[in-house]
Structure 1
Amino acid sequence: MDKLTQIETFVEVADKGSFSRAALGKNITPVMLGRRIDALEKRLGVKLMHRTTRHLTLTEQGMVYLEHCRKLLTDLGYAEEIISEGRHKATGHLIVSAPAAYGRKHVAPHAPAFIKAHPEVQISFNLTDRVVDLVREGYDLSIRIGGNIDPNFVAVKLASNRRVVCSTPEYFERHGIPRHLDDLADHNCLSFNLQGGQQRGWYFQDHGKPVIVKAAGNLDCNDGELLHRWACEGLGLAWRSTWEIEAQLASGELITVLDDYALPQYDIVAVYPQQRHLPAKIRFFIDMLKMVYAHPGYWLRR
């Protein structure tokens, strides 16, 4: 007799409180269940149950063993669900948040192909540069670029990325190349602002220590694409992600400076709440993005 059958029988009898009730609907006699428990107790070398004709009670060892057996069966059930889920099509409503410009260029455009492959999935996007509360606002998944991740969430790396300071060769010919972070004060910095005009700082590291620079200039906005355009027009320095300027860097249209001060932790990640059983719609969507981003030359497309 296999161990799993013995464990399942023990849990069933303990939950039902009697052998006769546990035997109902299983096409097996109470005597056979009793033999399984006897074999289990003999194998373990301990008494798990006190049995009389009218009552069944667990011993102290039996109560401890029952707790572990329940957890074992629960974990086994989850494992089988996960494996079984992988053989089925993703279904349901997938609600995704992503940064506005990035989501518009590199997330939402891939949704039609995903739905074609998984026609039982409906996708809703919220493209915003605000960091959403996944649980409170009801999102399944958030695409994020850098930043700290709540320990209650899972972050899956989708692609490598860095934040760099850049502008055109013409701009640097006119204004010189900054060599140190202090030099940013002498340059026109194109900054991202929050509501009310408050400007975000630029984040760097200096000898391994994080540094925030309050970059300032004559132009700022709350739209990343506009900052990108201004940088390509040579209107000032911009602090941008490599995902959006890779093509311009490859062509020489944009040049990076202060690379020794760049932070390393600005990867593109998919974030979702921790859960025992990750729905296929989330897992398949993440896998699709990873595959698309890994395609040679993807980030060089304008």
Structure 2
Amino acid sequence: MEAPADLQLPQLRLFLRLADAGTLSAAARQLHLTPAAASASLKRLESLLKVRLVERSTRSLRLTPEGELLREHAQRALGSIDDAMALLGARRERLEGEIHIAAPSDLGRQRLGPMLDDFLAQHPGLRVALHLSDAMHDLRREQVDIALRYGLLRDSGLVARHLHTTTRVLVAAPAYLAAHGSPAHPQDLERHNCLPLTLGGRAQMVWAFAKGAQTVEVRVHGNRRADDGGLVREWAVQGLGLAYKSRLDVLADLRAGRLVALLPQWTRESFPLHAILPGSRHVPLRVRRLVDWLAERFARVEDEGLGDTVRVSPAD
């Protein structure tokens, strides 16, 4: 069956956003529409197609079988249109539109922000919206095109691109070490003021270290903790305690001498950084190109290693 002559692309984009968000109000908010306008657009689409696309309840909307079929084909069709628009003109890619990126707070400020500066300079038609939080984002329900996440992946319905493998680094400011001394062994952390990060509502109070066959887990204590990794790093720089951070987040502070790496002979937990994409959606060309850019830039971080230019505590 041919599509109705007055079927409009914004109607399909709203429908796809509704399918991902699960509620009409959330879809309207993400597309900067009023709920009334979004509801009218959905009703008009159903009237044009002469089928019911969603089952309505008091709290959410669920796609009908016809809605699921439209979702599948609309994703492919709109994705192809987006890619064609990007490739048309001047025999080169012209990337346009908006990309929503979710990332941990400190990674976003320390690494991702500067990387995006160069990418946007090369593609002036692009807009980037950063969502910085150490909370986990739901790519299926939120307006997120790319999520940067540390750690192993547990959701097989997502598509992941490995960007980097990093380690944790125990750090403190020179002022803190001058006042309280440097730990010589992980167990010494029990006598220091430590600054845990809270993830998923749980404070990370156990820090793990290894040296050869010896492993040590230390339950740390401190007078402050936060669910924002950037704030934890700032506290450490201010000399308020010890932090156990991703090397990516503190490398600039280590190089500048604002922080000192401690217990260098003890290995720390290593973990990957991935760019996560929702597996159920078409990935626009602008998003694919940004992921390629990030993979190239994070690969260069390997050459930045801590090296001899970074101060480490002599204590061990």
Amino acid at match of 2:248: W
Deviates more, 1:116-125 or 1:134-143: 116-125
Cα deviations by residue, 1:106-154 (Å, 9 ceiling, x for unpaired)? 3244445434433444432211111111112232110123354423223
Matches of 1:227 and 1:238, distance apart in 2:
7
1:1-302 map, 5 Å = 88-111=93-116, 113-193=118-198, 199-206=203-210, 213-259=218-264, 260-265=266-271, 267-274=272-279, 278-293=283-298, 294=300
Matches of 1:291 and 1:280, distance apart in 2:
17
- Could you say what secondary structure the match of 1:220 adopts? coil
Matches of 2:119 and 2:111, distance apart in 1:
13
Larger Rg: 1
Matches of 2:154 and 2:119, distance apart in 1:
26
Matches of 2:179 and 2:117, distance apart in 1:
45
Where do 5+ consecutive residues of structure 1 fail to align? 1-76
| Equivalenced residues, count | 220
Matches of 1:148 and 1:202, distance apart in 2:
22
- Could you say what secondary structure the match of 2:204 adopts? coil
Where do 5+ consecutive residues of structure 2 fail to align? 1-75, 310-316
- Contact map agreement 1:91 1:280 (CA 8 A) in 2: no
- Contact map agreement 1:203 1:212 (CA 8 A) in 2: yes
Cα distance change on mapping 1:290 and 1:208 into 2, 3 Å: farther
Cα RMSD after superposing both structures = 3.9
Q: Which has more helix, going by share of residues?
A: 1
Cα distance change on mapping 1:122 and 1:211 into 2, 3 Å: farther
Cα distance change on mapping 1:239 and 1:298 into 2, 3 Å: closer
Matches of 1:89 and 1:211, distance apart in 2:
53
Amino acid at match of 2:188: D
Cα distance change on mapping 1:113 and 1:96 into 2, 3 Å: same
Cα distance change on mapping 1:138 and 1:193 into 2, 3 Å: same
Deviates more, 1:254-263 or 1:108-117: 108-117
Q: After TM superposition, give the deviation of residue 218 of structure 1 in Å.
A: 1.6
- Contact map agreement 2:103 2:149 (CA 8 A) in 1: yes
- Could you say what secondary structure the match of 1:139 adopts? coil
Q: After TM superposition, give the deviation of residue 195 of structure 1 in Å.
A: 8.6
Matches of 1:189 and 1:214, distance apart in 2:
10
Matches of 2:285 and 2:166, distance apart in 1:
26
- Contact map agreement 1:191 1:200 (CA 8 A) in 2: yes
Matches of 2:171 and 2:292, distance apart in 1:
31
Cα distance change on mapping 1:132 and 1:108 into 2, 3 Å: same
Amino acid at match of 1:271: I
Matches of 1:292 and 1:231, distance apart in 2:
27
Matches of 2:205 and 2:107, distance apart in 1:
20
- Contact map agreement 1:203 1:263 (CA 8 A) in 2: no
Amino acid at match of 1:151: S
